[in-house]
Amino acid sequence: MTTDRDARYRDVMRQVQAHNWREADARGRELNIADPTFAPGWLLASVIAQHLHDHERALQLAERAVAVAPDDASVLLRQAQCLDGLRRRPEALSAAAEAERASGDNPRALAAIGLFYSAADEHFLALATYDRACRQAPDNTQLLFSRAVVRRTVGQVEEAEADYDRVLELDPKYYESYANRSNLRTQTPDRNHVNLLEQLLEHGGADANGEVQLRYALAKEYADLGRHAESWMNLERGARLRRGQLAYDINTDLNTVDWLIETYPAGPLRAAEGAPADAPIFIVGLPRAGSTLVERILSSHSQLHAAGELRHFTLAITAAARLKSGLEDPPLRQIIALSAQHDFASLGREYLARCRPVAGDTPRFIDKMPVNYLHCGLIRRALPNARIVHVARQPLAACYAMYKMLFRDGYPFSYDLDEMAQYYIAYRRLMDHWHSTMPGVIHELSYERLVADQPGETRRLLAFCGLEWEDACLDFHLNPAASTTASAHQVRQPIYQSAVNEWRNYATQLAGLRARLEAAGIAV
């Protein structure tokens, strides 16, 4: 029989599903007043409060749920998520461990906890949790897939491939596993999946998403085998399909560059006061340009911790714009315009506070978010002693590296060569602007020069960052730390030359892109 409480709960859920967060919050309060012993009500209210950016209240509501249901794994996990949202990482991990203990052998609960650990960059804890879940549900494809992702992250390539094999044995239509498996290692004539992938495409049955995954998998494997015409054909078809799935307007990115140059026409007029000195090192540029390699070299130094690709600087800017404008979702142009009016020292401190849970125990940390190249002018103002390293590749090498990559999120310009050219030209224009308005502030690091002379370029890099030489930086491939990027396998090997000229195998196909770049004055 339906109770009044159940009806109220469903009503709140309807508001949540409609994204009517304020109304959901009001009705959630009524639900919790009507029945304060109903843990799911407090749990849902906590989720709503977090969507409204009220993180303190979200934690308070989660703690009410814990008081009602102290042995419920989902409630304890919500508490962990709220603590993490407040940057209270040690307490968050403790709450997640409590959730794990309370979960018993429930694979679904363990999967949720494993996902939390992964998002918190606690990949070895995630792996142990997924191992436990997979022992309880050895044929659960989602669990096996999630464990494969973590295994790849921590360098267990063979084990990851075994998980993907098992996923596809259980469900041949789990298409993302094909592309992930192909990217795990270099395929060889004796060990590849080309025939299987071709058969899957020939027989049909895959939807558009599935075909995209299969095309990118085939493009990767054919490239490894030196069959470049077949690789490009599959890559082109896959990219065209992927682009058709995206609602993207290149003009937004082009306008962003215009707005940034307009907002920051010259270098900083004054230094921010009060922002801690030189803790962060920002590695910026385009994706697939070598930033993971540079991060790996730097993080092999005893004084540095790799914090990963952090969204924290963008989040700090957006939060400040939200506060200044009074709008829940201020438009991008307004966010950029308001950024020049921020209290720069306060912005720097806010960024560092956001980073504290993931900054590690070393004196300094690395933020490897590539698109922070958009924020160089503001980074200089908010954190005047932070180091900014721009990693760049030869233009056609950079563009091909992006074009051949099926990104899980972001970089929608990378699936069309015409849009790629427009984006690349705008990116170079902005970087030239930062260099001209802030001379000497950004260390320009060429991927090609780094590959040709790792010792010399590493010495210059460390000197720029104010670090003493350490031999471990030359042996970056021995660094056991996890890597979440597409380069996770490559960075566990010594530097190799083959990627430098890989684009030349497709010089004919890239001729139009080359002409666009040269017409814009970019030396190719």
Going by pLDDT thresholds of 50, 70 and 90, the confidence category of residue 361 is confident
In this structure, the strands spanning 304-306 and 387-392 are: unpaired
Question: Per mean pLDDT, which range of 106-115, 411-420, 473-482, 487-496 is the poorest?
Answer: 487-496
Q: Which of 415, 373, 374 is nearest to 258 (CA)?
A: 374
Which pLDDT score, from 0 to 100, does residue 266 have?
A: 86
Going by pLDDT thresholds of 50, 70 and 90, the confidence category of residue 276 is low
Going by pLDDT thresholds of 50, 70 and 90, the confidence category of residue 295 is very high
Residue 96 and residue 74: Cα distance in Å, rounded? 10
pLDDT tens-digit series, residues 89-139 = 899 999 999 999 999 889 999 999 999 999 998 999 999 999 999 999 999
Question: Per mean pLDDT, which range of 27-36, 268-277, 360-369 is the poorest?
Answer: 268-277
Going by pLDDT thresholds of 50, 70 and 90, the confidence category of residue 479 is low
Which pLDDT score, from 0 to 100, does residue 494 have?
A: 58
pLDDT tens-digit series, residues 40-62 = 999 999 999 999 889 999 999 99
Statement: residue 484 has pLDDT above 70: no
Provide the strand spans (E) within 279-395: 280-285, 304-306, 364-367, 387-392
Which pLDDT score, from 0 to 100, does residue 1 have?
A: 43
Torsion of CA 354, 356, 362, 363, to 10 degrees: 70
pLDDT tens-digit series, residues 27-40 = 999 999 999 999 99
Paired tokens of 403: 């074009």
Q: What ranges in 438-501 are assigned the alpha helix state H?
A: 447-452, 454-464
Which pLDDT score, from 0 to 100, does residue 53 have?
A: 83
Q: Please classify residue 195 by burial: count the beta carbons closer than 10 Å to its beta carbon, then call 0-12 exposed, 13-18 middle and 19+ buried.
A: exposed
Going by pLDDT thresholds of 50, 70 and 90, the confidence category of residue 477 is confident
- 312, 354 Cβ separation under 8 angstroms: yes
Give Cβ neighbours of residue 470 (< 8 Å, ≥ 6 apart).
300, 301, 302, 462
The percent of residues above 70 in pLDDT, for the chain, comes to: 94
Give Cβ neighbours of residue 65 (< 8 Å, ≥ 6 apart).
39, 40, 42, 43, 46, 72, 75, 78, 79
Which pLDDT score, from 0 to 100, does residue 499 have?
A: 78
Instruction: Say which amino acid occupies 265.
Output: P
- Tell me how far apart the 2 most distant CA atoms of the chain are, in Å: 75
Element (H, E) at 446: strand 442-446
Going by pLDDT thresholds of 50, 70 and 90, the confidence category of residue 274 is very low
Which pLDDT score, from 0 to 100, does residue 4 have?
A: 87
| All structural domains of the chain with their residue ranges | 175-245, 250-519
pLDDT tens-digit series, residues 14-27 = 999 999 999 999 99
Statement: residue 194 has pLDDT above 80: yes
Which pLDDT score, from 0 to 100, does residue 21 have?
A: 92
pLDDT tens-digit series, residues 236-260 = 999 999 999 999 999 999 999 999 9
Tell me which CATH code domain 250-519 carries.
3.40.50.300
Which pLDDT score, from 0 to 100, does residue 475 have?
A: 85
Is 141 or 1 the better-scoring residue by pLDDT? 141
Going by pLDDT thresholds of 50, 70 and 90, the confidence category of residue 146 is very high
Task: Compute the average pLDDT of residues 190-206.
Answer: 94
Average pLDDT of every residue of the chain: 92
Q: 387 to each of 299, 393, 483, 502, how far by Cα in Å?
A: 14, 20, 22, 31
Contacts by residues 489-495 (CB-CB < 8 Å, ≥ 24 positions apart): 489/152, 489/157, 489/183, 489/184, 489/185, 490/292, 490/293, 491/292, 491/293, 491/296, 492/155, 495/293, 495/450, 495/451, 495/454
Statement: residue 492 has pLDDT above 50: no
Sign, CA dihedral 380-320-264-366, equals positive
Residue 141 and residue 175: Cα distance in Å, rounded? 12
Statement: residue 496 has pLDDT above 80: no
Going by pLDDT thresholds of 50, 70 and 90, the confidence category of residue 205 is confident
Which pLDDT score, from 0 to 100, does residue 363 have?
A: 84
